[in-house]
Amino acid sequence: MRKRIFIIIGLILVGAVAYFVYGILTTRSHSPSETQTISHQGLDVKVVYCRPYKKGRLIFGEEKDKALVPYEKYWRLGANEATEITFSKDVTFGDKAVQAGSYRMYAIPKPNSWQITLNSELGKFGYFEPNYALDVVKVDAPLAAAPQETEQFTITFEPDSSGVNMDMVWDKTLVRVPIKQ
């Protein structure tokens, strides 16, 4: 009898481990990794993030409405691993001075703006909230209507005369953070 119980428990554990491993191995196909880079006026900027799809879901909104990214809650700016941004030189990110280097980047979406934060804690899986004591800068970025509905979360860079704009677009939302030397 005892042997039968151990076999059943063993099968349940093997099944649970197999399910967990399957989830890890297939997550990249659901939210593929992306690297965006720009070199402009001697400044190199790189963002590494994962790109989830909308799939008919409510993306931004109230938690009670089951929004995928609820207002006033931590969001890793993508999926899977934490989003990381690297600057080759000291910059002004939004309106805040930031030293050259790599940072974890996350957001707190709000109905009319996002708070974008750079944090010095690197190498962590993005699902887990950062150590907030390691936040380096926080900037408020206003929302704008995206020119068209975007199915997959996207971060792009656009140069302009004063530096680079980092645009984050998903669903019908566009958020822009200026980056200047």
175 touches 114 (CB < 8 A): yes
Per-residue pLDDT band at 20 (split at 50, 70, 90): low
What is the pLDDT averaged over residues 87-112? 97
Do residues 89 and 129 share a domain? Answer: yes
Do residues 39 and 112 share a domain? Answer: yes
CA distance linking residue 30 with residue 54, whole number of Å: 11
CA distance linking residue 175 with residue 116, whole number of Å: 10
For residue 63, what are the β-bridge partners? none
Do residues 49 and 26 share a domain? Answer: no
pLDDT at 8: 78
Phi then psi for residue 93, to 5 deg, are -105, 110
Do residues 52 and 129 share a domain? Answer: yes
Do residues 23 and 36 share a domain? Answer: no
Do residues 38 and 23 share a domain? Answer: no
pLDDT at 99: 98
Total structural domains in the chain? 2
Side chain identity at residue 164, one-letter code: V
Using alpha carbons only, how large is the chain's radius of gyration in Å?
19
Q: What percent of the chain has pLDDT over 90?
A: 77
Do residues 51 and 111 share a domain? Answer: yes
Per-residue pLDDT band at 18 (split at 50, 70, 90): low
Do residues 136 and 169 share a domain? Answer: yes
Q: Give tens-digit pLDDT for 129-139.
A: 999 999 999 99
DSSP tag of 130: P
Do residues 69 and 155 share a domain? Answer: yes
CA distance linking residue 76 with residue 19, whole number of Å: 24
Do residues 25 and 37 share a domain? Answer: no
Per-residue pLDDT band at 23 (split at 50, 70, 90): low
Least confident of 33-37, 96-100, 115-119, 126-130: 126-130
Q: Give tens-digit pLDDT for 147-179.
A: 999 999 999 999 998 899 999 999 999 999 999
Give the domain extent around 117: 32-180
Q: How many residues does the chain have?
A: 181
pLDDT at 3: 79
Do residues 25 and 83 share a domain? Answer: no
pLDDT at 169: 98
Do residues 104 and 136 share a domain? Answer: yes
Tell me the pLDDT of the chain averaged across its residues. Answer: 91
Q: Residue 28 pLDDT > 60, yes or no?
A: no
